[in-house]
């Protein structure tokens, strides 16, 4: 789709109010006297999504590859400023080859103007980025500063430096999809929060995501009428957690049964799968859900899971969304790679996120809450408001088997110490 077609699909019919439609660059400065660049490669303005006001920009790849110069920057900065002043979400549809080569350092400086506005708006108004085409350089840094990144599979990619530069610097051949496709960014780098199979689906994803978020950090998320009764009981919940505490199960089956039917929207479903985070509703009210995932790495918390959980708790805290945590973890993942990679630096972010959050917090220990992970996963000591334990809960420094193995080891060592 073109930039305007995408906006037409995103916004309520007839609601788009364009800004800066006639802005163009004086390309004579760059030796392109005869060329016209309508809108300077971006369409900006305001509109409504399901009746709620939003600010938008959509880059236009048909104009110099959607590349980013000073006029484009002025247009985007203007809509960022107005979104922040008005307290409304900003949605960016990104499709740009990055800094406009012809404009040299002018476009680099202009990127700085956009980035600083991304940061000042962070946690104040929701910012959602959709990657809808090839995006390079600065065109991916701005999305990286926003709350959520949605990427369209196959037709979009994102990287800081492209395959040719990588080949020149490292000698390594890599294709665009292998380097920066949706598969890589949703499973390995973790920059992408949701992958959409088409542009249409990506736009639906924006609308769905927005439905859990408030207009700004002074507002509450909308309440959406549930399809089920708020006091329904579910006996199946008694049977999902296996009796054997080493048997895996999918924690999402519990989440889906606890919250309003079909309301769970998972964030980062394909990355750091040993943790599950996402939005859901209770009696129509938005809630942030955090859980360990026993079906992956037994639910142990590693570096990526730490980043996933901590970032999500910070977002919930910023946007007045209560956090409900389901705990089933044997602890932080032991290993040399984890220690060298900075598990302390990353794990500390979970402690920080829960401790700092002032939204209502509830935790439910489903099965194992062991060691440091007991403390980290929304413990009472980190200011959780209500801590529940299911009948299957075990809370300890370590599991009984690990404890007896460790005691046996210590006994045998002590026997080797010669007595005086």
Helix, coil or strand: residue 27 = helix
Among 89, 143, 162, 226, binds ligand HXC (CB under 6 A): 162
379-386 long-range contacts, CB within 8 A, separation 24+: 379/354, 382/351, 382/354, 382/355, 383/354, 383/355, 383/357, 384/325, 384/354, 385/360, 385/361, 386/361, 386/362
Question: DSSP characters for 52-72?
Answer: EEEEEEEE-TTTGGG-B-HHH
Q: Pick out residues in 55-84 that bind ligand HXC (CB under 6 A).
A: 64-65, 67
Q: 46 vs 111, which CB is nearer to ligand HXC?
A: 111
Q: 65 vs 353, which CB is nearer to ligand HXC?
A: 65
Question: Shortest CA distance to 348 belongs to which of 317, 313, 322?
Answer: 313
58 is catalytic: no
Residues contacting ligand HXC: total by CB under 6 A: 16
180 contacts 163 by C-beta, under 8 angstroms: no
Check residue 98 for interaction with ligand HXC (CB under 6 A): yes
Among 45, 126, 138, 330, binds ligand HXC (CB under 6 A): 138
* Residues 6 or more apart in contact with residue 201 via CB below 8 angstroms: 152
Burial of 106 (0-12, 13-18, 19+ CB in 10 A): middle
180 is catalytic: no
| Rounded-to-integer distance, Cα 122 and Cα 318, Å | 9
Q: How far is the CB of 133 from ligand HXC (least distance, A)?
A: 8
Q: How far is CA 1 from CA 198, 202, 357, in A?
A: 10, 12, 40
137 is catalytic: yes
Burial of 324 (0-12, 13-18, 19+ CB in 10 A): buried
Q: Which residue is nearest to ligand HXC (CB)?
A: 137
Check residue 101 for interaction with ligand HXC (CB under 6 A): yes
Q: 138 vs 331, which CB is nearer to ligand HXC?
A: 138
Q: How far is the CB of 78 from ligand HXC (least distance, A)?
A: 20
Q: 177 vs 217, which CB is nearer to ligand HXC?
A: 177
Q: How far is the CB of 112 from ligand HXC (least distance, A)?
A: 8
Check residue 134 for interaction with ligand HXC (CB under 6 A): yes
Q: How far is the CB of 99 from ligand HXC (least distance, A)?
A: 3
Q: How far is the CB of 137 from ligand HXC (least distance, A)?
A: 2
Q: 138 vs 353, which CB is nearer to ligand HXC?
A: 138
123 is catalytic: no
Helix, coil or strand: residue 260 = coil
Q: How far is the CB of 135 from ligand HXC (least distance, A)?
A: 7
Q: Pick out residues in 215-234 that bind ligand HXC (CB under 6 A).
A: none
Which residues are catalytic, by number? 137-138, 372-373
Q: Which residues bind ligand HXC (CB under 6 A)?
A: 64-65, 67, 97-101, 108, 111, 134, 136-138, 141, 162
């Amino acid at each position: 789709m073109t930039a305007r077609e995408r906006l037409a699909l995103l916004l309520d019919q007839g609601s788009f109010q364009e800004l800066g439609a006639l802005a163009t660059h004086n390309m004579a400065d760059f030796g392109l006297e005869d060329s016209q660049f309508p809108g300077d490669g971006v369409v900006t303005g305001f509109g409504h999504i399901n009746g709620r006001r939003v600010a938008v920009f959509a880059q236009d790849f048909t104009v110099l590859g959607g590349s980013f110069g000073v006029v484009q920057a002025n247009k985007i900065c203007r809509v960022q400023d107005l979104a922040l002043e008005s307290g409304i979400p900003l949605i960016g549809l990104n499709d740009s080859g990055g800094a406009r080569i012809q404009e040299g350092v002018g476009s680099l400086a202009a990127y700085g103007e956009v980035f600083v506005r991304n940061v000042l708006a962070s946690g104040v108004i929701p910012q959602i980025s959709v990657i809808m085409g090839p995006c390079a350089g600065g065109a991916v840094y701005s999305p990286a500063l926003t709350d959520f990144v949605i990427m369209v599979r196959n037709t979009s990619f994102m990287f800081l430096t492209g395959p040719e530069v990588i080949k020149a610097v490292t000698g390594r051949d890599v294709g665009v999809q292998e380097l920066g496709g949706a598969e890589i960014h949703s499973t390995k780098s973790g920059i992408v929060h949701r992958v959409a199979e088409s542009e249409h689906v990506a736009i639906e994803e924006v609308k769905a995501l927005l439905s859990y978020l408030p207009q700004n950090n002074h507002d509450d998320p909308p309440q959406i009428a549930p399809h089920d009764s708020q006091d329904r009981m579910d006996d199946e919940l008694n049977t999902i957690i296996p009796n054997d505490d080493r048997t895996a199960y999918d924690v999402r089956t519990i989440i889906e049964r606890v919250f309003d039917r079909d309301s769970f929207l998972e964030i980062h479903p394909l990355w750091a799968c040993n943790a599950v985070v996402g939005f859901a509703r209770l009696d129509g009210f938005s809630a942030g859900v955090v859980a360990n995932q026993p079906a992956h790495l037994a639910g142990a918390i590693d570096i990526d899971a730490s980043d996933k959980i901590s970032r999500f708790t910070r977002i919930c805290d910023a946007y007045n969304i209560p956090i409900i945590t389901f705990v089933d973890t044997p602890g932080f993942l032991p290993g040399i790679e984890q220690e060298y990679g900075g598990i302390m630096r990353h794990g500390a972010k979970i402690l920080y996120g829960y401790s700092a959050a002032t939204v209502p917090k509830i935790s439910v220990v489903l099965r194992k809450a062991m060691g440091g992970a007991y403390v980290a996963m929304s413990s009472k000591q980190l200011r959780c408001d209500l801590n529940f334990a299911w009948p299957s809960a075990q809370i300890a420094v370590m599991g009984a088997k690990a404890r007896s193995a460790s005691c046996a080891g210590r006994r045998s060592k002590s026997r080797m110490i010669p007595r005086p």
